[in-house]
């Protein structure tokens, strides 16, 4: 059973979709821990209500007892304590420190066809607005390996959808998200079944 650590910054729908897909499609994977930085995030309560273990790690240290421990260090500890095999960024807006420990073991899903409309500051509705402003005929989503640069890691899977006349950010976002709900579980399935063994070589894609 592949143990996944999921990091969220919002409503948690991506990690909840993963958990439901694992159950429905008998994918040999489970969400070992969900990490957030603010307890008031909607995703914290939603994930807990779904029976998932959630760790809230504030960006500032909770006490002076560990003055040299950074947020990245505390994330590493939480992932290690949960015996995580694979990290999945699920709408996580902060830079994730991959380092040697998580190289080839960290995935992200981005709401465009990378390398277009990616990079620092390009997330959520910002991406869909840029796609519409560019007059693109298609959009979609990209599952990719994470390295130390936003949205640069090797592409593992993409799913496309059309940009339709009359689309606005809301309608395009909904169509792209429908593809995300299929793409992310599929990549995790291939990893969990050994089709794509961990750690994934950064030069490899499919």
Given the residues 110, 120, 128, 138, the one annotated as active site: 110
- Tell how strand 155-162 and strand 138-145 pair up: antiparallel
- Tell how strand 86-89 and strand 2-7 pair up: parallel
What are residue 141's DSSP bridge partners?
A: 159
- Please state the length of the chain: 206
Residue 1, helix vs strand vs coil:
coil
Active site residue 110: yes
Contacts (Cβ under 8 Å, ≥6 apart) of 120: 150
Tokens representing 35 are: 């990490």
Q: What is the DSSP string of 66-93?
A: STT--HHHHHHHHHHHTT-SEEEESS--
Q: What are the residue numbers of the active site? A: 110
């Amino acid at each position: 059973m592949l143990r996944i650590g999921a990091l969220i910054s919002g409503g948690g729908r991506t990690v909840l979709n993963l958990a439901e897909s694992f159950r429905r499609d008998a994918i040999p994977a489970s969400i070992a821990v969900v990490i957030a930085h603010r307890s008031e995030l909607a995703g914290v309560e939603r994930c807990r209500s779904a029976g998932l273990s959630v760790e809230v790690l504030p960006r500032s240290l909770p006490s002076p007892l560990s003055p040299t421990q950074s947020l990245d260090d505390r994330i590493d500890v939480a992932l290690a304590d949960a015996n995580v095999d694979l990290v999945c960024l699920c709408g996580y807006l902060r830079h994730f420190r991959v380092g040697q420990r998580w190289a080839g073991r960290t995935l992200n899903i981005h709401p465009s066809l990378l390398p277009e409309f990616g990079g620092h500051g390009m997330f959520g509705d910002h991406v869909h607005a840029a796609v519409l402003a560019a007059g693109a005929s298609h959009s979609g989503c990209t599952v990719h390996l994470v390295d130390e640069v936003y949205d640069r890691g090797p592409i593992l899977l993409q799913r496309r959808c059309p940009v339709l006349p009359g689309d606005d950010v809301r309608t395009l976002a909904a169509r792209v998200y429908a593809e995300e709900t299929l793409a992310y579980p599929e990549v995790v399935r291939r990893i969990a079944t050994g089709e794509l063994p961990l750690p994934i070589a950064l030069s490899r894609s499919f």
